Amino acid sequence: MRDVAIVGVGITKFGERWEHGLKELMAEAGLMALQDAKMESKEIEMVYGGTMAPGKFIGQEHVAALLADQLGLQNTPAVRIENACASGGSALRQGYIAVASGIHDVVVVGGVEKMTDVNASEATTALGGAGDQEWELFQGITFPGLYALIAKRHMKEFGTTEEQMAAVSVKNHDNAYRNKYAQFHRKLSIEDVMRSKMVADPLKVLDCSPISDGAAAVVLVPLDKAKKYNDLPIRIIGSGQASDSLSLAERDSLTELKATKIAAQNAYKQAGINAEDVDIAEVHDCFSIAEILAMEDLGFYKKGEAAKAIAAGETALNSKLSVNTSGGLKGCGHPVGATGVKQAVEITWQLRGEAGERQVNGAEIGMAHNVGGSGATAVVHLFKRAD
Amino acid sequence: MRDVAIVGVGITKFGERWEHGLKELMAEAGLMALQDAKMESKEIEMVYGGTMAPGKFIGQEHVAALLADQLGLQNTPAVRIENACASGGSALRQGYIAVASGIHDVVVVGGVEKMTDVNASEATTALGGAGDQEWELFQGITFPGLYALIAKRHMKEFGTTEEQMAAVSVKNHDNAYRNKYAQFHRKLSIEDVMRSKMVADPLKVLDCSPISDGAAAVVLVPLDKAKKYNDLPIRIIGSGQASDSLSLAERDSLTELKATKIAAQNAYKQAGINAEDVDIAEVHDCFSIAEILAMEDLGFYKKGEAAKAIAAGETALNSKLSVNTSGGLKGCGHPVGATGVKQAVEITWQLRGEAGERQVNGAEIGMAHNVGGSGATAVVHLFKRAD
């Protein structure tokens, strides 16, 4: 197993990108990553493309070969990786394995979703495919509904309040305000969130990540070749992934994601670090309650203690642990397949010291945490500056 | 890079499986493969699931985690691999890389598609996502239409006839007749094919592979641990993959699949063999013309010479080179994501000498060739008995 480094990152603006199709978004992010790595496309040996439901959203499957084609890599092997909302993180992990194993030297990992070509009902149905369609979606429960069940149980067991959940959205919009690639540049108050339209009690629309278009890409090479491409390579020091039942009803607990716990333990073990060593984290806040679960399941807080800490500002920018500096899924937007790759882009910028107005001082170790569905897949990566 | 062996294979009957859902099909094939490997599910470290368009066919994404769940592997990491009709072969290659690299010791590769829950028009649209939706599908061309263009050009350049194409279907139905897992158990004559309904000139319905449900699975382990699980491990001696533009219009030639040529060259090189060393091959006959292209692009015949040879019986069962002994996509059926894995199952049975009525005498080296779309992905694997 070789050490692996990120030497190039690229991203599009996230949001309602009416003027751009899937191909243009992929090309924009991919070419930006290649330029960042000062690399010609012919050096690329393999492409991993993370995307969740392009068949449902725009009628296009076979997206990895299309991505290779868009990058001018007509004959380079490519595979699409799909694990619902964890498609991007899962693609990053497969790309990492390909380089770590020595099979490939230069790998591009892209993530993309073009979601705004369908109406809200179609989008909700497409996203419902991340859960158990037979036991959940076809019975009428949508994703906000599943996370609302989780939120209700968390409130009952630990006294978590709607205002504490709202604080997650407020913080993430504050961070997104400083990120030019983010979908939203609008600061929120707790009252804004509390007064927003109810989607699935207790989750209001401002507790929910949006429907978005966007793409992100990273270039991976062996660490010992990284300086050829970039003066500030970012090393992947841990990678973990785990699964769980798709259906919530089959889980032991509604208030933890076991897949997140196992993935994090494996990543920490590989990196030889603990939760307290992490300085910055991009975690999967598809709904405000999801960030609370994540902070607990990743080991940053004991179960039942994260909501209060977030509301007290412990995870704000340049606090004890800066969480979702990109704006997270809530503020930066959530083009599903792009999200897990975007997390790696943000951590790379932070560890390089290139995050501009939202730079975390002295960040040394970063984490990316990407969840599929209501927790049936979780992927955790840990990163550190290589020098 | 370690040597990798197949130690367990499983498959469902292919066809219109009204009484079984996606979950049941995956479980049936997966558990059969585990039993064949005399393995308990807890030994499995990673699951790769190949499937093309479950979102369009049944509203379910996130299928790899669901497969892991069905096998009782609730927390085992899993990823879905999608490369259109080459999803199964691509999943096999990723599983192979995972074991060869030393990242995992025991990997299950599954392939599945449940296609008959939608009507023919919906299925055609879903399959169209394997091509370039913007430049092909949305302009009104379907997959039979794309391959009809290829066929017309092949006829013009090399004098290939409709009767020679029909001979592919006749041969493959002959083989399927001997395979209890095949969708069709009906022998055809050249006249049957010639008189069948025109789909896209010159391709008639009996030149086309059918809409099918089905699943297949294989268990991969390092070769040096293989005998623990199976007395007749089958070694993967070569693995190659390549891409091409999705859109036919961007290719240099309509009468060859460049991705197939490159993937085959890479696989032969790794295995240290040539085309003439291959005894049995499962090739991608989504349409009769596709098997003709494959025989040429894989190096078995010079360009323009395969059609005549096939019509002369050179690739029939127990001839010079036995091709598509399973019945191929045409006779065995084509549940898209399952096909590439089914090819490996068939080659495994043949090399073990367990193929019953369709056993090829003295088969030593086998090939599986899986194509995505009209050739934007091709995956080639070479296999040999390990003893």
CA distance B352 to B384: 10
Asked if the Cβ–Cβ distance from B69 to A130 is below 8 Å, we say: no
CA distance B243 to B255: 16
Same domain, yes or no: A277 and A154: yes
User: What residues in A contact B47, CB-CB < 8 Å?
Assistant: 243
Interface test with B, best of A82, A125, A286 (most B CBs within 10 A): A82
- Residue A167, min C-alpha distance to chain B (Å): 30
Same domain, yes or no: B223 and B324: no
Paired tokens of A115: 């979601």
pLDDT at B86: 98
Asked if the Cβ–Cβ distance from A80 to B78 is below 8 Å, we say: no
Adjacent-strand bridge partners of B383: B236, B366
Could you give the number of structural domains in chain A?
Answer: 2
Asked if the Cβ–Cβ distance from A59 to B102 is below 8 Å, we say: no
- Answer yes or no: are the C-beta atoms of A53 and A127 closer than 8 Å: yes
Q: Is residue B133 part of a domain?
A: no
pLDDT at A344: 98
Please name the residue of chain B whose CA is at the shortest distance from the CA of residue A372: B62
CA distance B352 to B195: 39
Same domain, yes or no: A255 and A201: yes
Task: Give residue B383's identity as a one-letter amino acid code.
Answer: F
- Answer yes or no: are the C-beta atoms of B217 and B78 closer than 8 Å: no
Q: What is the ipTM of this complex?
A: 0.96
User: What residues in A contact B132, CB-CB < 8 Å?
Assistant: 60, 66
Give the single-character DSSP code of A208. Answer: B
The CATH number that applies at residue B38 is 3.40.47.10
- Residue B73, min C-alpha distance to chain A (Å): 8
Active site residue: B85, B208, B286, B332, which one?
Answer: B85
**Where a domain ends, among B198, B228, B258?**
B228
Same domain, yes or no: A181 and A195: yes
Asked if the Cβ–Cβ distance from A74 to B23 is below 8 Å, we say: no
Paired tokens of A14: 């996230």
Pairing of strands A107-114, A46-50: parallel
Same domain, yes or no: A306 and A261: yes
Residue A223 has pLDDT above 80, yes or no: yes
Residue B387 has pLDDT above 90, yes or no: no
Asked if the Cβ–Cβ distance from A59 to B129 is below 8 Å, we say: yes
**Where a domain ends, among A228, A259, A278?**
A228
User: What residues in B contact A59, CB-CB < 8 Å?
Assistant: 125, 128-129, 133, 137-138
Paired tokens of B105: 């010791």
Q: Is residue B150 part of a domain?
A: yes
User: What residues in B contact A84, CB-CB < 8 Å?
Assistant: 61-62, 65
B182 φ, ψ (degrees, to nearest 5): -75, 155
Burial B97-120 (b: 16+ CB within 10 A, else e): bbbbbebbbbbbbbbbbbbbebee
- The percent of residues in chain A predicted with pLDDT above 70, rounded, is 100
Please name the residue of chain A whose CA is at the shortest distance from the CA of residue B72: A245
- Residue B271, min C-alpha distance to chain A (Å): 16
The verdict on whether A85 is a catalytic residue reads: yes
Average pLDDT over residues A138-159: 96
Please name the residue of chain B whose CA is at the shortest distance from the CA of residue A66: B246
Q: Is residue B18 part of a domain?
A: yes
Taking the model in full, what pTM does it have?
0.97
CA distance A62 to A80: 7
Same domain, yes or no: A162 and A16: no
Q: Is residue A19 part of a domain?
A: yes
- Residue B331, min C-alpha distance to chain A (Å): 25
**Where a domain ends, among A174, A197, A228?**
A228
Which domain range does residue B77 map to? 4-119+211-228
Paired tokens of A305: 């203690």
Asked if the Cβ–Cβ distance from B79 to A82 is below 8 Å, we say: yes
User: What residues in B contact A90, CB-CB < 8 Å?
Assistant: 79
User: What residues in A contact B62, CB-CB < 8 Å?
Assistant: 82-84, 129-131, 246, 372-373, 376-377
Q: Is residue A131 part of a domain?
A: no
Q: Is residue B129 part of a domain?
A: no
- Average model confidence (pLDDT) for chain A? 97
Range with the lowest mean pLDDT among A133-137, A344-348, B207-211, B348-352? A133-137
Asked if the Cβ–Cβ distance from A138 to B372 is below 8 Å, we say: no
- Answer yes or no: are the C-beta atoms of A57 and A349 closer than 8 Å: no
Average pLDDT over residues A226-234: 97
- The helix-helix angle for A87-100 and B87-100 (nearest 10°) equals 50
Under the banding of pLDDT at 50, 70 and 90, the label for residue B32 is: very high
Same domain, yes or no: B364 and B269: yes
pLDDT at B1: 84
Residue A212 has pLDDT above 90, yes or no: yes
Interface test with B, best of A26, A46, A61 (most B CBs within 10 A): A61
Residue A329 has pLDDT above 80, yes or no: yes
Interface test with A, best of B79, B244, B266 (most A CBs within 10 A): B79
pLDDT digits (tens, 9 = 90+) for A240-290: 999 999 999 999 999 999 999 999 999 999 999 999 999 999 999 999 999
pLDDT at B74: 83
Q: Where are the alpha helices (DSSP H) in chain B?
A: 22-36, 54-58, 63-70, 87-100, 120-128, 143-158, 162-176, 190-195, 258-271, 288-297, 306-311, 328-332, 336-352
pLDDT digits (tens, 9 = 90+) for B62-92: 999 999 998 988 899 999 999 999 999 999 9
Asked if the Cβ–Cβ distance from A69 to B243 is below 8 Å, we say: yes
pLDDT digits (tens, 9 = 90+) for A29-59: 999 999 999 999 999 999 999 999 999 999 9
Q: Give the DSSP H or E segment for A200.
A: strand A198-200
Average pLDDT over residues B316-330: 97
pLDDT at B94: 97
Same domain, yes or no: A216 and A199: no
Nearest to B83 among A65, A130, A263 (CB): A65
Distances (CA, A) of A158 to A154, A184, B34: 6, 31, 42
User: What residues in A contact B73, CB-CB < 8 Å?
Assistant: 243
Under the banding of pLDDT at 50, 70 and 90, the label for residue A387 is: confident
Paired tokens of A273: 């670090």
Active site residue: B104, B334, B369, B381, which one?
Answer: B334
- Answer yes or no: are the C-beta atoms of A169 and A206 closer than 8 Å: yes
Range with the lowest mean pLDDT among A348-357, B130-139, B263-272, B322-331? B130-139
Task: Give residue A333's identity as a one-letter amino acid code.
Answer: G
CA distance A223 to A237: 11
Same domain, yes or no: A16 and A155: no
CA distance A158 to B164: 72
Q: Is residue A128 part of a domain?
A: no
- Residue B192, min C-alpha distance to chain A (Å): 34
pLDDT at B131: 95
Q: Is residue B377 part of a domain?
A: yes
Same domain, yes or no: B145 and B89: no
Same domain, yes or no: B91 and B169: no
Same domain, yes or no: A223 and A194: no
Average pLDDT over residues B249-278: 97
Paired tokens of A221: 């090479």
- Answer yes or no: are the C-beta atoms of A65 and B52 closer than 8 Å: no
Residue A9 has pLDDT above 80, yes or no: yes
Active site residue: A104, A173, A284, A334, which one?
Answer: A334
